[in-house]
Amino acid sequence: MDFFLSLNPDCEIHSFEPNKRLYENLKARFHSKKNVKIYNLEISDASGERIFHENRLDMISSFEQINFNSKYVDKKAFILGLRLPKLILRSYPVEVISLSSFITQIKLTRDIDIIKIDTEGHEYYCLSGLFSECLSIKINHIQPEQHFNDQYQNSIGFKHVHVHRILKSNGFYLQKKITNCYGDFNEFIYSSL
Judged against a pLDDT cut of 60, whether residue 131 lies above it is answered with: yes
Q: What DSSP state is assigned to residue 92?
A: E
- pLDDT band with cut points at 50, 70 and 90 for residue 183: low
* pLDDT average, residue stretch 164-188: 88
Q: Largest Cα–Cα distance of the chain, in whole Å?
A: 50
Q: Which residues pair with 44 in a beta bridge?
A: 98
- Asked whether residue 2 is domain-assigned, the answer is no
pLDDT band at residue 111 using 50, 70 and 90 as cut-offs: very high
Domain count, the chain: 1
Question: Per the domain annotation, does 16 fall within a domain?
Answer: no
The pLDDT assigned to 69 comes to 87
Domain that holds residue 80: 41-192
Q: Is 169 inside any structural domain?
A: yes
What does the DSSP 8-state code read for residue 157? S
Range in 1-5, 18-22, 58-62 with the lowest mean pLDDT: 58-62
Compute the distance between CA of residue 154 and CA of residue 174 in angstroms, rounded to an integer.
23
Name the pLDDT band for 157 (thresholds 50, 70, 90): very low
Please, which residues have CB within 8 angstroms of residue 92's CB and are 6 or more apart in sequence? Answer: 51, 52, 54
Residue 10 in any domain: the answer is no
**CB-neighbour burial class of residue 89 (10 A; exposed 0-12, middle 13-18, buried 19+):** middle
**Does residue 31 form part of some domain?**
no
Q: Picking from 49-53, 155-159, 173-177, which range would have the lowest pLDDT averaged per residue?
A: 155-159
User: Over 80: is that where the pLDDT of 187 sits?
Assistant: yes
- Give domain status of residue 33, yes or no: no
Reported as a pLDDT band with limits 50, 70 and 90, residue 125 is very high
- DSSP code of residue 174: E
SS3 85: helix
R_g over Cα of the chain: 17
- Is residue 158 predicted with pLDDT exceeding 60? no
Q: Do the domain assignments include residue 159?
A: yes
**In-domain check, residue 14:** no
Strand-pair partners of 178: 187
